[in-house]
């Protein structure tokens, strides 16, 4: 079935403007549009597409939106649908970044950023907790022991090595491929090393500085991130805060919060990092590089998604890199919480944890309430982080 270009622009643009709430919301909206309301895609095909996109690195819900547009509009539809899904949030993020990262923002703006940023560690815990059951259920027997090891390694690496985390993610995936092939043929480790070394070499050679460094950070986010969308946090934090000092700890927490409350994919956080590094041009460059792999994966490989789902090596790689990525999300909470410098921020974090983990409230609502608490503190003359 082919859908007119104007229909794709309208419907995917509407999704880009209203898709708050992260990947679960994005998937539900795409299913409602393409399967239930329009009947463009069969239910089984849609579920298969979800499974295939979850095997790809990068933002799965973005890739799913591009794939659905490809199914109904071909390559042109994929590009236009993907842009419709991504661009509205990108514009909003650039505007918010300009406000929150200004050299002298109003006190209430600083308070909102400090409040929302204080809740981010709780959001990370919720994200990891939501990913664990499904990831653990995919493996069985001795693989579950390795799953725990990969999870622990990811958590430790996220809290310690920072910018080099992506090396560990790729290595865990390669080890799992080698382990399973060794069980089958006895030559698995050598086979995995032959196929993984380009990724390992790329991961171990980040750019030194300037726009090259920004491009490298964006590439990690878009092409070398495995697991949920929140794994971008530990992948960016070490570079953006520790190595290149584009953002302070408090500003980074605020940027992550902005990525959660804007419509569209969470990966928009990289736009704020790019803005902090090199202004509007940096934000656009970071977004373009981060989203480019998603378009490339679908445009070049959508016709082979069935083969991808059945590829044992791909599944093995994800069974190694996936739990390490979840561990990395957990490990990122250490640095996120350590960035809190005011007592009231810890109270906000505690409140956010109760809302998210005990009362099961949504991320967007929780972050907005946390930001409102920060505004109240600022207007009352309370201390704000520098």
> Do residues 155 and 277 share a domain?
yes
Q: What tokens does 70 get?
A: 């490809």
| Count of residues making up the chain | 386
> Do residues 211 and 259 share a domain?
yes
Percentage of the chain with pLDDT > 90? 51
Q: Which of 89, 107, 130 represents a domain boundary (last residue)?
A: 89
> Do residues 60 and 176 share a domain?
no
29 belongs to a structural domain: yes
d(CA 178, CA 182): 6
Instruction: Return the CA Rg of the chain.
Output: 20
> Do residues 280 and 209 share a domain?
yes
Reported as a single tens digit per residue, the pLDDT across 224-269 is 787 667 888 888 988 898 889 999 999 999 999 998 889 988 889 9
Number of domains the chain contains: 2
Percentage of the chain with pLDDT > 70? 92
> Do residues 240 and 284 share a domain?
yes
385 belongs to a structural domain: no
Say how far residue 82 (Cα) sits from the centre of its chain.
16
d(CA 339, CA 349): 12
Confirm if 101 and 275 have CB atoms less than 8 A apart: yes
pTM score above 0.75: yes
For the segment 343-347, the average pLDDT, to the nearest whole number, is 96
Reported as a single tens digit per residue, the pLDDT across 181-195 is 887 765 544 554 445
> Do residues 109 and 82 share a domain?
no
> Do residues 67 and 197 share a domain?
no
Give Dmax (Cα) for the chain: 68
Q: Please give the pLDDT value at position 207.
A: 54
Reported as a single tens digit per residue, the pLDDT across 156-168 is 988 887 777 888 8
For the segment 354-370, the average pLDDT, to the nearest whole number, is 93
Question: In this predicted structure, which of 113-122, 198-207, 210-219, 326-335 has the lowest mean pLDDT?
Answer: 198-207
> Do residues 162 and 30 share a domain?
no
d(CA 35, CA 2): 15
Average pLDDT taken over every residue of the chain: 88
Q: Please give the pLDDT value at position 188.
A: 47
d(CA 288, CA 238): 21
Backbone angles phi, psi at 245, to 5 degrees: 55, 40
- 291 Cβ partners below 8 Å, 6+ apart? 59, 62, 82, 86, 222, 267
> Do residues 150 and 220 share a domain?
yes
């Amino acid at each position: 079935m082919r859908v007119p270009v104007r229909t794709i622009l309208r419907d995917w643009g509407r999704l880009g403007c209203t898709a708050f709430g992260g990947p679960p919301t994005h998937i539900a909206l795409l299913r409602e549009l393409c399967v239930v309301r329009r009947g463009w895609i069969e239910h089984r095909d849609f579920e298969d597409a979800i499974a295939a996109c979850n095997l790809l690195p990068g933002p799965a819900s973005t890739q799913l939106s591009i794939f659905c547009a490809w199914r109904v509009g071909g390559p042109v539809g994929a590009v236009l649908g993907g842009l419709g899904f991504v661009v509205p949030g990108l514009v909003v993020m650039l505007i918010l970044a300009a406000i929150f990262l200004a050299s002298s923002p109003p006190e209430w703006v600083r308070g909102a950023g400090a409040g929302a940023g204080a809740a981010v560690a709780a959001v990370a815990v919720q994200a990891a907790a939501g990913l664990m059951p499904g990831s653990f259920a995919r493996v069985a027997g001795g693989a579950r022991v390795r799953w725990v090891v990969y999870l622990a390694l990811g958590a430790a690496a996220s809290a310690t090595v920072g910018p080099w985390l992506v090396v560990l993610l790729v290595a865990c995936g390669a080890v799992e491929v080698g382990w399973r092939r060794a069980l089958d043929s006895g030559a698995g480790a050598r086979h995995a090393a032959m196929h993984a070394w380009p990724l390992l070499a790329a991961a171990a050679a980040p750019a030194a500085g300037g726009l090259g460094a920004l491009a490298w950070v964006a590439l990690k986010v878009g092409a070398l991130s495995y697991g949920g969308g929140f794994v971008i946090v530990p992948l960016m934090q070490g570079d953006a805060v520790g190595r290149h000092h584009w953002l302070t700890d408090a500003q980074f927490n605020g940027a992550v919060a902005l990525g959660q409350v804007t419509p569209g994919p969470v990966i928009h956080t990289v736009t704020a990092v790019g803005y902090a590094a090199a202004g509007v041009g940096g934000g656009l460059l970071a977004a373009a590089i981060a989203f480019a792999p998603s378009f490339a994966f679908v445009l070049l490989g959508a016709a082979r998604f069935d083969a991808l789902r059945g590829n044992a090596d791909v599944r093995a790689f994800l069974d190694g890199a996936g739990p390490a990525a979840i561990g990395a999300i957990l490990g990122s909470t250490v640095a996120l919480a350590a960035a809190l410098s005011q007592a009231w921020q810890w109270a906000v974090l505690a409140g956010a944890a109760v809302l998210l983990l005990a009362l099961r409230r949504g991320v967007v609502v929780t972050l907005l309430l946390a930001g409102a608490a920060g505004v109240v503190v600022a207007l009352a003359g309370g201390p704000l982080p520098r």
